[in-house]
Amino acid sequence: MTTQFLNNRYQIVATLGRGGFGETFLATDTHMPSARKCVIKLLKPLVEDPEVPQWLKERFQREAAILEDLGENHPQIPRLYAYFTEKNNFYLVQEWVEGFTLTQKHEQQGNFSSEQIQELLIGLLPILAFIHERRIIHRDIKPDNIILRNSDGKPVLIDFGIIKEAMGTVVNPDGRSAYSIALGTPGYMSSEQAAGRPVYSSDLYSLGLTAIFLLTGKTPQYLESDPRTGEILWRKDAPQVSAQLANVLDKSIHFHPRDRFDSAEEMLMALVSRLPNKTQGSFQNSTEATVAVSSNPKRRSRPVTRPTIEIEEEEEETEETGNPWIAWIVMPLIFLVIIVSGLAVGFLMAKKKRMQPPPPSPIESIEPTPSEPLPTPTPLVIPTIRPTPVPTPVPTPVPTPIPTPEVSPSPDPGVNPENPDNPIPPLTPIPDPTPSVQSTPIFVPTPAPSPKPSPISTPTPESKPLPENVPPAPPIEEKPVN
């Protein structure tokens, strides 16, 4: 680069690096009164034609807008100041972050401790959760792309692969895209990313290998792997690592994506779940300070506050639960007592229900009703009396009315007018006063056959003394019988 100014505004101060897609410079903005420092990235598209196609320019513009949105809404992502095109090259002007990369930090102090790695991951995972929420994959996480900021010591994620993807597209002379080059750094990118199909857990894979490099001092190419499963064997090179941190890193670098964490939030919670309260408190304070660092009110990280709330909840849970072994013993006992008491109550209620007599209300209501009419059927005894009178009238009245001459003897006792007391004999067979009622039906058929009993009507008034003559009936019986 022979020119000293870019876009007649940015003065080149130093070259920060070179790569397959371009160069990175440190420059000053001469149009600002403070002459602030900035980072300018030169991106060279892989085109065979000297003229850059229009679709590539539009894609560069869209992806630059994405970088602007990320930088404005998260304080641990550099802000985008400007972008422009010059001589078929694309330029990005970004915020300059003063600090050291993780590679430089490792060169200064050597291997990191477990506590330092935990603090580093707690500061980086919310950034990944933030960009993944916007459906963006970084694709190039490694020690050189993470800067520890001097102002607050927080990690800043730089050099997103979103622009590199556009620049890595090979363009044919006819202006159409032929293929895209896989983005990432060999050793730090997963197998699916190397195949051109990255997923969200691909960033977690790269982050896990970055942490392992800081713990062991070995790049992924120099770490042993299982020839059968492809899993990386690194624990023997970092004996100082705690078991919990080692388990989290092992899960993040599994060969197959399905065996890794589903999200950055899940990995963060697995890391923070059993940290001491002091460490959790420092993490909470650091997340609150992260939001306060930004001078722009729009720059706030939503994912940063989310794990803070979850960590507070877990602190409360750990304080309440105490020893987890006690919970494992007490909880089953509580459930057992509840089940046994429920069964006992159910058994007692069922037994009590069986011992109770049947509901008397419906039966009692039915029983009194028949008891009351029982006295009424007493007159039904009449049918018992009916058989006695029924046979008597059937033989006597039926033959008597038919033969009129035979009825004549009946008037014989009544013919004796001289002795008015003699007509009583027909009443003699009835000793009780009750047959008097029966005599009436007997007399009813007798007058019917004989129309002449006009004199008979006369004795009817005389029949009133008949009850007086009832005692002399026996002597009268002898006479008519003969």
- Cα(465)–Cα(363) distance, rounded to whole angstroms? 57
Distance of CA 261 to CAs 112, 254, 264, 280, 399, Å? Answer: 23, 9, 7, 21, 120
* Six token digits for residue 335: 């459930």
Structure tokens at 475: 């002597």
Burial of 230 (0-12, 13-18, 19+ CB in 10 A): exposed
Sign of the C-alpha dihedral computed for residues 186, 191, 194 and 198 taken in this order = negative
Place of tokens 């003063």: 98
Instruction: Give the number of C-alpha atoms closer than 13 A to the C-alpha of residue 426, restricted to the C-beta side.
Output: 17
Name the active-site residue from 29, 49, 69, 140: 140
Contact 209, 187 (CB under 8 A): yes
Q: Is 344 helix (H, G, I), strand (E, B) or coil?
A: helix
| Dist. CA 332–CA 141, nearest whole Å | 46
**SS3 of 201, please?**
helix
Longest dimension (CA), the chain: 182
Q: Give the SS3 label for residue 145.
A: helix
Pairing type for strands 99-101 and 155-157 reads unpaired
Q: Which residues contact 203 (CB under 8 A, 6 or more apart)?
A: 128, 132, 137, 138, 139, 141, 264
Which residue has 């032929």 as its token pair? 178
Terminal CA-to-CA distance of the chain, rounded, Å? 174
140 is catalytic: yes
Angle between helical axes of 302-321 and 277-293 (0-180°, round to 10):
160
Report DSSP state, residue 149.
E
Q: Tokens 């003229």 map to which residue?
A: 51
Contact 429, 437 (CB under 8 A): no
Question: What secondary structure, in 3-state letters, does 63-115 show?
Answer: HHHHHHHHHHHCCCCCCEEEEEEECCEEEEEEECCCEEEHHHHHHHHCCCCHH
Q: Angle at the Cα of 224 (from 269 to 257), degrees rounded to 5?
A: 40
The residues annotated with a catalytic role in the active site are 140
